[in-house]
Amino acid sequence: MISVLEKWARGLDAIVEACGWVAAWTGLALVLVMAGNVLMRYAFNTGSVAMQELEWHLMSPLTLLCIAYTIKHEGHVRVDIVYAHLPARVKQAIDLFSALSVVALSVIVIALSWRYVMQSYRIGEASPDPGGLPYRFILKAMIPAGFALLLLQSLAATFRALEPFLGGPAEPPATVPVDAPQ
């Protein structure tokens, strides 16, 4: 049972890794669009509403789709002052509770935001500004998509947190960082 949970967790990790890597490239696109907007504004005294809106259209996948990726790589802020001094079994229980809480939160946000996205799609919502971008539902769809990835990452964390309670190793197996020499 333990190896099955770890296998599922690794599969979910792979999905989050791939989506996070692709979403991270929107950072480059965002920098290029912002630089282009600044160049157009100050060098040529012109600008585009669509290009300005594209900035926050790119910020949405960058932030929402990279949340799960950041958590997977433990790039988030942690407060370990109390946690570090707790017994291993209490830490394991906290890890399991935390993972299950994020699973529940993700499901709630996905359920609540899906109607929001579909309403935008049905009415063909576009930018209210002249020259703005159409298809506002794509931007809004980043909310359930980002939380779906967070759900996958939280399920992987739940599977790993369950292992000690099912007779598996008390500590998760060490992973080799992606950029570490072999």
How confident is residue 2, by pLDDT bands cut at 50, 70 and 90? low
Residue 174 covered by a domain: no
Distance between CA atoms of 141 and 124, rounded to whole angstroms? 13
Residue 182 covered by a domain: no
How confident is residue 24, by pLDDT bands cut at 50, 70 and 90? confident
How many domains are there within the chain? 1
Residue 1's pLDDT is 58
Q: What residue numbers bound the domain in which 18 lies?
A: 2-166
- Of 19 and 80, more confident: 19
- How many helices (H) does the chain have, and how many strands (E)? 7, 0
Residue 84 covered by a domain: yes
Residue 112 covered by a domain: yes
Residue 65's pLDDT is 84
Residue 171 covered by a domain: no
Q: Please write the tens of the pLDDT for every residue from 114-151.
A: 999 999 999 998 888 888 888 889 889 999 999 999 99
Residue 178 covered by a domain: no
Residue 176's pLDDT is 40
Cβ atoms within 10 Å of 4's Cβ, excluding its own = 9
**Whether the predicted pLDDT of 90 surpasses 80:** yes
Give the length of the chain.
182
Residue 176 covered by a domain: no
Angle of the 88-122 helix axis to the 142-162 helix axis, nearest 10: 160
How confident is residue 171, by pLDDT bands cut at 50, 70 and 90? low
Residue 130 covered by a domain: yes
How confident is residue 111, by pLDDT bands cut at 50, 70 and 90? very high
Listed in sequence order, the DSSP H helices in the chain are 2-24, 26-43, 49-64, 67-72, 88-122, 136-140, 142-162
Q: Is 32 helix (H, G, I), strand (E, B) or coil?
A: helix
